[in-house]
Amino acid sequence: DLPARVRIHEVGARDGLQNEKSMVPVEVKAEFIARLAAAGLQTVEATSFVHPKWVPQLADAEELLPRITGLREQYPGLRLPVLVPNERGLDRALAGGADEIAVFASATESFARRNLNRSMDEVMEMFRPVISRAGEAGVPVRGYLSMCFGDPWEGPVAPEQVVAAGVRLLELGCAELSLGDTIGVATAGQVTELLAAFGRAGVPMAQLAVHFHDTYGQALANTLAALRCGVTIVDSSAGGLGGCPYAKSATGNLATEDLVWMLHGLGIETGVDLAALVATSSWLAGELGRPSPSRAVQALAGS
């Protein structure tokens, strides 16, 4: 059985742009986010309050937030979460008026070290005060878990290891858990297997999101497998932008346009105006100086 509606968690402005080599001006980022909201996306991850030296492209988070918070009045129900790795990041995000955050852990030791300069245990301890203070401030927290299917340094990752790390994030107080295929190696059978393992651990499918990168062209097939398991929250990136600078061989995320094409074809509601979204990604591709890798954008742009 497939769900009647899917909530798309749009990550283009964060996961997409964090990997861009040339600096994207803050005005362009703000316009991108405004256009995504206008196209009907209800969750638009905006930026990261990480160390500016680690992700220089998002060092303008303080300048960006005041330019987009007004969108929440214009589009009731619009959510603009931001990534936060530690208390310093939380302070910066709260000062900027963020009302929803995401922390990001790894299912593997190798990537925890490379992405956050910490062991897996240290990462969880770093998040503990972030999540509890966010709770006190009434700010919901999403938990990302990276390398859920394979890791460039460790190879395949056992479902039990992923479930153990995911359950820790939920126990710390994350309202939602996004399962990341950071390097895009998963295939549909693995997705079904991992979701079944979460089910056996008592985690409701309503709390899970899937986050696929499209390195091997499997992201849509993997998404369909997840929907069949009862997942209703899917992460994607407008135009297929993206990748993580600290994950060897990560390419773009599943393109939101490709996702919307499949979902609408299946009769699943998203609230997204595909033509407006394609126009947005085509405009951004012009700003970035190269075409969108999304197949749906290529097929629909100018049509």
CA distance 7 to 104: 20
Helix (H) or strand (E) holding 161: helix 159-172
- How far is residue 165 from each of residues 6, 19, 138, 171, 289, measured CA to CA in Å? 25, 26, 24, 10, 39
Q: Based on the shown chain and the rule CB under 5 A, indicate whether residue 60 belongs to the binding site for Mg ion.
A: no
Taking CB under 6 A as the criterion, which residues in 240-299 touch ligand HMG? 244, 246
Q: Based on the shown chain and the rule CB under 5 A, indicate whether residue 15 belongs to the binding site for Mg ion.
A: yes
- The answer to whether residue 229 is catalytic is no
CA distance 219 to 210: 10
- CB neighbourhood size of 86 (10 A): 18
Give the range of 49-57, 153-161, 190-198, 202-210 binding ligand HMG by CB under 6 A. Answer: 49-57
* Contact of residue 85 among Mg ion, ligand HMG, none (CB under 5-8 Å per partner type): ligand HMG
For residues 18 to 37, the per-residue mask of contacts with ligand HMG, x marking binding by CB under 6 A and - elsewhere, is: x-------------------
Shortest separation between residue 73's beta carbon and ligand HMG, angstroms: 28
Give the range of 81-89, 189-197, 258-266, 292-300 binding ligand HMG by CB under 6 A. Answer: 81-89
- Sort 278 into a burial class: Cβ within 10 Å, 0-12 / 13-18 / 19+: buried
DSSP conformational letter for 97: T
Judged by CB under 5 A, how many residues of this single chain contact Mg ion?
Answer: 1
Q: Based on the shown chain and the rule CB under 6 A, indicate whether residue 127 belongs to the binding site for ligand HMG.
A: no
What is the SS3 assignment for 51? coil
Give the range of 84-92, 129-137, 151-159, 265-273 binding ligand HMG by CB under 6 A. Answer: 84-92
Choose, by CB under 6 A, the member of 182, 215, 236, 282 that binds ligand HMG: 182
Residue, CB closest to ligand HMG: 180
Judged by CB under 6 A, how many residues of this single chain contact ligand HMG?
Answer: 25
- Sort 289 into a burial class: Cβ within 10 Å, 0-12 / 13-18 / 19+: exposed
Give the range of 12-20, 79-87, 126-134, 192-200 binding Mg ion by CB under 5 A. Answer: 12-20
Long-range contacts of range 37-40, CB-CB < 8 Å, 24 or more positions apart? 37/71, 37/74, 37/75, 37/78, 38/75, 38/276, 39/272, 39/273, 39/276, 39/277, 39/280, 40/270, 40/271, 40/272, 40/273, 40/276, 40/277
* Contact of residue 246 among ligand HMG, Mg ion, none (CB under 5-8 Å per partner type): ligand HMG
| 15 vs 100, beta carbon nearer Mg ion | 15
Choose, by CB under 6 A, the member of 86, 236, 237, 281 that binds ligand HMG: 86
Shortest separation between residue 246's beta carbon and ligand HMG, angstroms: 5
The residue assigned the tokens 């919901």 is: 140
* Catalytic center residues: 244
Which positions lie near Mg ion, rule CB under 5 A?
15
